[in-house]
């Protein structure tokens, strides 16, 4: 079977209120970083910072120099607004207070 001349990949980025998935055709030796730049997503979302934002392929973190395969989906992850452990702790504390207040009634 001959090597494909062109492969198709998707570049995905999501905000709380919108999601963008761009499909692009690239050569098989293209890296994740090159595909992101070629997709035009950096122009649409200038807040993306490839020096600090993590990227992955189908939910698995990867490096910017990773090579791509046909039908891969590159995902650009935003930084967390809140620490998940801290959020769970605060939620548990609030529920504990609610239960204590209900027990007093």
CA proximity to 67, closest of 89, 34, 96, 94: 34
Collect the ranges in the chain with pLDDT lower than 50: 1
Q: Quick one: pLDDT at residue 77?
A: 95
CB 77 within 8 A of CB 55: yes
pLDDT in tens, 53-70: 999 999 999 999 999 999
Q: Quick one: pLDDT at residue 90?
A: 82
Q: Which residues of 9-25 are buried (b: 16+ CB within 10 A; e: fewer)?
A: bbbbbeeeeeeeebebe
Q: Quick one: pLDDT at residue 87?
A: 75
Q: How far is CA 25 from CA 9, 67, 70, 102, in A?
A: 6, 14, 9, 59
């Amino acid at each position: 079977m001959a090597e494909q001349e062109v492969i198709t990949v998707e570049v995905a980025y999501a905000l709380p209120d919108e999601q963008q998935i761009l499909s692009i055709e690239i050569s098989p030796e293209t890296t994740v970083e090159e595909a992101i730049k070629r997709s035009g997503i950096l122009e649409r979302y200038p807040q993306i910072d490839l020096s600090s934002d993590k990227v992955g392929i189908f939910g698995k973190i990867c490096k910017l120099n990773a090579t791509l395969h046909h039908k891969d989906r590159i995902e650009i992850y935003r930084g967390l607004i809140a620490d998940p452990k801290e959020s769970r702790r605060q939620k548990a504390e609030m529920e504990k207070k609610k239960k204590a207040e209900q027990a007093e009634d």
